[in-house]
Amino acid sequence: MKKTLLALLLVAPIPAIAQTAPATTQAAPERTHEIALTGGDNFRDVGGYRTGDGHEVRWGKLYRSASVGRYTAEDQALIRKLSVGSIIDLRSTRERQGDKAPWMQTADVGYWTRDYDLSGGNLGALFAKGAKFDAETMRGVMIQGYRGFPKEQAAAYRMLFDRLLTSDKAVIVNCTAGKDRTGLGVALVLSALGVPYETIMEDYLLSNTLLDADALRADAGMNAAMSALPADVAKPLLGVERAYLDAAFEQIAKDYGSVDAYLAQELGVDAAARKRLRERMLS
């Protein structure tokens, strides 16, 4: 009986309803980290990354960017739509002097910055002294600069964590290129959230594809000697490399024993604060 029924099913005409193509539903577009600006550069959402225990960094909580001093009126309108409540500007005093329209100083965006001069990796000063560079020398200068960032940028990183811990609005952290000082700052936040180091590195290296090198040359106010660098010599300066971020974390381990110890001792972000940060920024 079963065999006869099966035979009938195989040869029976298919009902009309079965011949109708099933309705298709359009999948929602995949969310991406990069957000295009008309004047700004290397602007992206740090959300979407997975932690080691399976949580996800919430979208729309932390953005990273190159210089906010180049944002157009359209860019500023987008910032308002993103409900940005804080901008932590890591640029030095000299770097900010190039801003033609310092809109962020009067806008209601919780703008914070500080006056200081870059110490390690101050290429402008080295060029002024007539220093000669090849690619490896340039790479060494960058690595040395990264080793100094944890202490040099501690005041700024402290404020970054403070805003993330106390504000319900989004935070932008930026420097001139949005790749070095900003790169380490974001890496520290992701580390505090429990994101694996390899994922942190992937986010860091995105600057190599999202940063406009020509805009960086202009924004950094590079002198003639720096602008005339051969491509192979300029590459370590204009991009990022695994060795750079590794150097910063190695220095933190050497000086403090661990990232968590650095966060607690230098930034005041202890275990209780890290727990609150995860509650606020993870889903």
The β-bridge partners of 45 are 63
The β-bridge partners of 173 are 64, 88
Q: How far is CA 86 from the centre of its chain?
A: 15
- Quote the pLDDT of residue 20: 47
Q: Note whether residue 182 is domain-resident.
A: yes
CATH number of residue 196's parent domain: 3.90.190.10
CA angle 252, 161, 274 (to 5 degrees): 75
Q: For residue 268, count other CB atoms closer than 10 A to its CB.
A: 13
Q: Note whether residue 22 is domain-resident.
A: no
Q: Note whether residue 114 is domain-resident.
A: yes
Under a CB-based contact definition with an 8 Å cutoff, are residues 193 and 277 in contact? yes
15: Cβ contacts below 8 Å, ≥ 6 apart: none
* Number of domains into which the chain is organized: 1
Under a CB-based contact definition with an 8 Å cutoff, are residues 41 and 218 in contact? no
Q: Note whether residue 228 is domain-resident.
A: yes
User: How far is the C-alpha of 145 from the C-alpha of 180, rounded, in Å?
Assistant: 9
User: How far is the C-alpha of 179 from the C-alpha of 31, rounded, in Å?
Assistant: 21
User: How far is the C-alpha of 163 from the C-alpha of 220, rounded, in Å?
Assistant: 27
Is the pTM here over 0.95, yes or no?
no
- Quote the pLDDT of residue 244: 98
Closest CA to 93 of 102, 84, 85: 102
- Quote the pLDDT of residue 64: 98
Under a CB-based contact definition with an 8 Å cutoff, are residues 186 and 43 in contact? no
Q: Note whether residue 201 is domain-resident.
A: yes
Under a CB-based contact definition with an 8 Å cutoff, are residues 121 and 244 in contact? no
Per-residue model confidence as pLDDT tens digits over 139-151: 999 999 999 999 9
Range of the domain at 165: 34-281
Closest CA to 138 of 33, 243, 248: 243
User: Average pLDDT for consecutive 10-residue bins of the chain (283 residues)?
Assistant: 37 42 54 91 97 98 96 95 97 91 93 88 58 86 95 98 97 96 98 98 97 72 63 91 98 98 98 98 98
Under a CB-based contact definition with an 8 Å cutoff, are residues 61 and 171 in contact? yes
Q: Note whether residue 26 is domain-resident.
A: no
Contacts 24+ apart (CB under 8 A), 207-210: 207/42, 207/177, 207/178, 207/179, 207/183, 207/239, 207/240, 208/239, 208/240, 210/34, 210/41, 210/42, 210/44
- Quote the pLDDT of residue 11: 38
- Quote the pLDDT of residue 100: 83
For residue 69, what is the DSSP state?
G
Tokens standing for residue 147: 């080793």
User: How far is the C-alpha of 242 from the C-alpha of 257, rounded, in Å?
Assistant: 21
Residue with token string 């220095």: 251
User: How far is the C-alpha of 180 from the C-alpha of 211, rounded, in Å?
Assistant: 12
Q: Note whether residue 118 is domain-resident.
A: yes
Burial 169-181 (b: 16+ CB within 10 A, else e): ebbbbbbbbbbbb
User: How far is the C-alpha of 59 from the C-alpha of 283, rounded, in Å?
Assistant: 10
- Quote the pLDDT of residue 223: 52
Q: Note whether residue 11 is domain-resident.
A: no
